Amino acid sequence: MTKINEKKQLVNLPVPIERINGNEAGLLNVVKKTITVSKEDFNKPQEWMEQLTRSIESAFTCKSECIAATPPIIRYANPDDLNSNVLISAIIIDVSEVMKKEGLCN
């Protein structure tokens, strides 16, 4: 008998962060942005960092002061081929609710 593994789809929508008695206590809005650059262009970070920054800013245009982002996560498109394109990702989180509670964001 063959087993079929289902892939869970990555969703860029609000993700529940905690459940109390079956109810969601809050939502965390998380977005992953990825750009692909060639091996040659990877050696020019001033170019791809600008592209990645614009992609991050577009994720939460009206809340740019209330987001948190990971540093660039860098990996090869094909890990077996070190001359393949490079994938550069960032994970962006809307932290406006936390910032509001701390009085740091409107």
The whole-number pLDDT of residue 53 equals 87
| 87 SS3 class | strand
Residues 52-103: tens digit of each pLDDT: 888 888 877 666 677 888 999 999 999 888 888 999 999 988 887 777 777 7
Question: What is the C-alpha separation between 104 and 106, in angstroms, rounded?
Answer: 7
The whole-number pLDDT of residue 38 equals 92
Per-residue exposure over 15-25, b if at least 16 CB sit within 10 Å of its own CB, e if not: eeeeeeeeeee
- Tell me if 88 is assigned to some domain: yes
Q: Is the pLDDT of residue 7 over 50?
A: no
- Tell me if 1 is assigned to some domain: no
- Tell me if 7 is assigned to some domain: no
| Model-wide pTM > 0.85 | no
Question: What is the C-alpha separation between 41 and 3, in angstroms, rounded?
Answer: 42
The whole-number pLDDT of residue 2 equals 45
Q: Is the pLDDT of residue 23 over 50?
A: yes
Domain that holds residue 27: 19-102
Q: What percent of the chain clears pLDDT 90, i.e. is strictly above it?
A: 25
Q: How many domains does the chain have?
A: 1
- Tell me if 36 is assigned to some domain: yes
Comparison of pLDDT for 41 and 24, the residue scoring more: 41
Residue 54: CB atoms within 10 A of its CB come to: 11
- Tell me if 46 is assigned to some domain: yes
